[in-house]
Amino acid sequence: MPNWGGGKKCGVCQKTVYFAEEVQCEGNSFHKSCFLCMVCKKNLDSTTVAVHGEEIYCKSCYGKKYGPKGYGYGQGAGTLSTDKGESLGIKHEEAPGHRPTTNPNASKFAQKIGGSERCPRCSQAVYAAEKVIGAGKSWHKSCFRCAKCGKGLESTTLADKDGEIYCK
C-alpha cells in the first residue's frame, strides 16, 4: 500500500520524519528529539548509540542491559568469600595503606593533552578538539545540552544545579 503521507516514519513515535529533523541509524529514521536512550533518555549521536533490534540505547545502558554479566564486569561478583585462607595455613599480611598522589593527573603526557578530564554527562575523556567549558567543568560539545529538554547550550545561556546543566 502506498505511503501517501510522504516521508519516513520515526522508529520511536511512528510519526512522519521530514528531512530537516531526520537522524538515520541502521536504516531507520528518527526525529532528532526522539533519538534518545530508551532507559536514561540521554541524547544520542552516531558515536554514543548502541542498537538492539529496534531499540536504541546509550552505550552505558546497553552494556548494563545486554553486556556480559558476572565477576569482573561491574555487575557484582555473585557470592563473595571473606575466607583469608587461615584454615590452610596461609598467614594474612596487612598491605600498606594506599596513599593517593597529591596530583590527580600525575602523567606529564596526560597533562599536555588533557586526557584525564572527564565529561560529567558521559564520563568519557574530553580532549581539546571537542571541549566546551561550562559550570566550571569540561564537556563534550555533543553532551553540552540541557539535562531537562536536551537543547544545546552556550556557556552564557546555562544554569547549573547539583552538577547538571540546564537552559535558563
Per CATH, domain 114-167 is 3.40.50.300: no
Helix (H, G, I), strand (E, B) or coil at 141: helix
How do residues 33-90 score in pLDDT, each as one tens digit?
Answer: 999 999 999 999 888 899 988 899 999 898 888 887 666 555 444 555 565 656 656 6
Who has greater pLDDT, 93 or 113? Answer: 93
Nearest-Å Rg of the Cα atoms of the chain is: 23
Domain extents in the chain:
22-66, 114-167
pLDDT, residue 126, reads 85
Cα three-residue angle 19-23-27, rounded to 5 degrees? 100
Asked if 91 contacts 100 with a C-beta cutoff of 8 angstroms, the reply is no
Cα three-residue angle 54-56-61, rounded to 5 degrees? 135
- Averaged over 4-10, what is the pLDDT? 77
* Nine cell digits for residue 57: 540505547
Q: How many of the other CB atoms lie within 10 Å of CB of 121?
A: 21
pLDDT, residue 46, reads 84
pLDDT, residue 154, reads 82
pTM of the model: 0.40
- Specify the amino acid at residue 130: E
Residue with cell 588533557: 114
Torsion region of 147: left, alpha or beta (phi above 0 gives left; psi -120 to 50 gives alpha): alpha
Asked if 32 contacts 17 with a C-beta cutoff of 8 angstroms, the reply is no
The answer to whether domain 22-66 and domain 114-167 are alike in fold is yes
How do residues 136-163 score in pLDDT, each as one tens digit?
Answer: 888 888 888 888 898 888 877 788 888 7
Cα three-residue angle 92-93-94, rounded to 5 degrees? 120
| Residues 163, 121: Cα–Cα separation, whole Å | 9
pLDDT, residue 41, reads 92
93 pLDDT band, cuts 50/70/90, is: low
pLDDT, residue 1, reads 47
Distances (CA, A) of 33 to 7, 39, 143: 17, 15, 14
- Averaged over 121-135, what is the pLDDT? 85
Strands 22-25 and 28-31 come out as: antiparallel
107 pLDDT band, cuts 50/70/90, is: very low
Which CATH number applies to 22-66?
2.10.110.10
